[in-house]
Amino acid sequence: MAKTLDIPHIDLAGDVSIPQFGLGVFQVPPDKTFENVTHALNVGYRHIDTARAYQNEAQVGQAVKSSDLSREELFITTKLWNSDQVKPIDTLKQSLKLLETEYVDLYLIHWPAPGHDLYVQAWEGLVEAQKQGLTRAIGVSNFQAEHLRKIIDATGVTPAVNQIELHPYLTQHGLRREHADRGIVTEAWSPLAQGAVLDDPVITEIASAHNRTPGQIVLRWHIELGNVVFPKSMTPSRIEENIDIFDFELSAEEVERIEALDRGMRTGPDPDTFNG
């Protein structure tokens, strides 16, 4: 029997509510994904973030089908890869078959891939996919402010979310402000900077004060900022530890101290130059 936790939700445009915490399956091998997602669902996760490029949509779908949870209890995100930007609806239909569901809750353009200059066309396709009921909400990932402005100006439709690399060493303050001004929810990928922030003296000091792990402190920081966050782990105990962050809070001073660690450090590609 799957455990139920009281996870905060954030309202998206179109009367859609997204759990603020979930499980990411980036770089989780297909043969490990079923087990990974099944454990997460059993301990209270209800939000799974996958992508066409991860090549594990089928295993996510199998885990969801095998659970005792109804589809309505779950929030599933997948993404459109760069080479598929000319056929977003057909690609989404292929993802839906693999996920064994009639719709996803959120469909994202994975990267703007500005060198291809197809992301406006792709966004028009996502708008149509939402109209067709193939996805409840639509958004983007790794978009910079100018990319956001271009698709909004072209279509009049604002993304519900922008999923960006965001962690204490890359706080994205300016882009988060742009999101807030436009009513776009910020989602954070690589929320722990692939572990690079966990030994930082500021993080470890705050962790000691709360009797928590450094990872829990950083994930709680994301929650305090209002980010949607979905750390990846293939370790069952870490999956459980990661979500155990809703019975304590950070002070405003602690949040500011962590934000002050920003050094503009990316662990992934630069969205202005990455074309996939």
Just list the catalytic residues: 54
* N residues, the chain: 276
Q: Tell which residue, 70, 66, 68, has the closest CA to residue 58.
A: 66
Neighbour count for residue 253 (Cβ, 10 Å): 9
Estimate to the nearest angstrom the gap between the alpha carbon of 188 and the chain centroid: 6
The answer to whether 255 and 16 are in contact (CB under 8 A) is no
Q: Which residues contact 265 (CB under 8 A, 6 or more apart)?
A: 169, 170, 193, 196
Distance CA 61, CA 149 (A): 34
Distance CA 268, CA 79 (A): 17
Task: For residue 10, count CB atoms less than 10 angstroms from its CB and return exposed for 0-12, middle for 13-18, buried for 19 or more.
Answer: middle
The answer to whether 39 and 67 are in contact (CB under 8 A) is no
Q: Could you tell me the CA-to-CA distances from 28 to 8, 60, 65, 233, 270 in Å, in that order?
A: 25, 11, 19, 8, 22
